[in-house]
């Protein structure tokens, strides 16, 4: 990922809160019935073969639907693993993709996520206690329990952005394009959670290495 620094440089929290204000006023998406999302993701997987470790990037497309009562279904399509070399491909035990589907029933008292920042922080804490890994845990909780599970209304999305804006150590690194070629601003936190920054350990990857990369292609309400 090539990053171009911003000129002039601006504080990360100020810029992110401006984006939050724009999100709150956007009117997108319009509330409806069934929440639908489409995600394209890449995950690092490893296998031990003959005393050595083989690593591969596994692409995945995920499409969840969630009804107003909390019930829903999700379809996951796993693509062919991507390898550094043909030798790694030959050593990999299984190189095939596939399609998986799961469904779940209604939940008791389904509610929308909080739009107050403090209430949202408490809600995320209940879903995923922060533990000892620092501010990055809040970001992980938003991706695991909000962005990958719910279609957020404008005020809900704004609350998430305001919460992240106040995380200590947040930086605005510059501009880039993501893996589906969309222009983007790059915000970052220093953490070994979700990336290999100093040592690959037993993994057959080059440093720095990303453990997972998730993109959100669609988030909308369907009738």
- The secondary structure of the chain as a DSSP string is ---BPPSS---HHHHHHHHHHHHHHH--SPP-SEEEEEEEEEEEEEEEETTEEEEEEEEEEEEEEE-TTS-EEEEEEE---B-SSHHHHHH-S----EEEEEEE---SS--PPP-SHHHHHHHHHHHS--TTS-THHHHHHHIIIIITT----HHHHHHHHHHHHTSTT-EEEEEEE-TT--EEEEEE---STTEE-S--TTS--PSSEESEEEEEEEEEEE-
pLDDT in tens, 11-37: 999 999 999 999 999 999 999 999 999
Low-confidence ranges of the chain (pLDDT < 70): 49-50, 95-96, 128-133, 192, 194, 196-197, 199-202, 204
Q: Is the Cβ–Cβ distance between 92 and 106 less than 8 Å?
A: no
Question: Is residue 168 in some structural domain?
Answer: yes
Pairing type for strands 212-222 and 34-49 reads antiparallel
Question: Is residue 19 in some structural domain?
Answer: yes
Q: Kindly report the number of other CB atoms within 10 A of residue 95's CB atom.
A: 11
Q: Is the dihedral of CA 2, 182, 29, 69 positive or negative?
A: negative
Question: Is residue 126 in some structural domain?
Answer: yes
Q: Give the rounded distance of the alpha carbon of 152 from its chain centre.
A: 14
- On whether the pTM is more than 0.85, the answer is yes
Question: Is residue 5 in some structural domain?
Answer: no
Q: Give the rounded distance of the alpha carbon of 157 from its chain centre.
A: 14
Number of structural domains (the chain) is 1
Structural domain harbouring 74: 12-222
Torsion, CA 113, CA 193, CA 181, CA 94, rounded to 10: -110
pLDDT score recorded for residue 154: 97
Question: Is residue 57 in some structural domain?
Answer: yes
Question: Is residue 136 in some structural domain?
Answer: yes
Question: Is residue 6 in some structural domain?
Answer: no
pLDDT score recorded for residue 222: 94
pLDDT score recorded for residue 196: 67
pLDDT score recorded for residue 89: 86
């Amino acid at each position: 990922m090539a990053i171009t620094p911003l000129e002039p440089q601006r504080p990360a929290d100020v810029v992110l809160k401006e984006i939050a204000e724009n999100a709150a006023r956007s009117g997108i998406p319009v509330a409806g019935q069934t929440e639908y999302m489409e995600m394209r993701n890449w995950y690092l997987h490893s296998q031990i073969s003959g005393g050595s470790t083989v690593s591969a990037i596994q692409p995945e497309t995920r499409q969840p639907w969630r009804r107003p009562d909390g019930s829903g279904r999700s379809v996951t399509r796993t693509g062919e693993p991507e390898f550094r070399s043909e030798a790694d491909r030959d050593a990999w035990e299984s190189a095939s993709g596939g399609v998986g589907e799961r469904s779940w029933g209604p939940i008791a008292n389904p509610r929308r996520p909080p739009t107050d920042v403090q209430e949202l922080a408490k809600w995320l804490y209940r879903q995923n206690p922060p533990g000892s890994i620092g501010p990055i845990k809040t970001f992980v909780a938003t991706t695991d329990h909000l962005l990958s599970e719910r279609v957020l209304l404008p005020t809900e999305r704004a609350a998430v952005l305001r919460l992240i804006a106040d995380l200590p150590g947040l930086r605005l690194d510059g501009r880039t394009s993501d893996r589906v070629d969309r222009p983007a601003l790059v915000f970052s936190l220093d953490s070994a959670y979700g990336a290999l920054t100093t040592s690959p350990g037993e993994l057959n990857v080059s440093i720095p290495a990303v453990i997972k990369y998730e993109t959100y292609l669609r988030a909308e309400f369907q009738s």
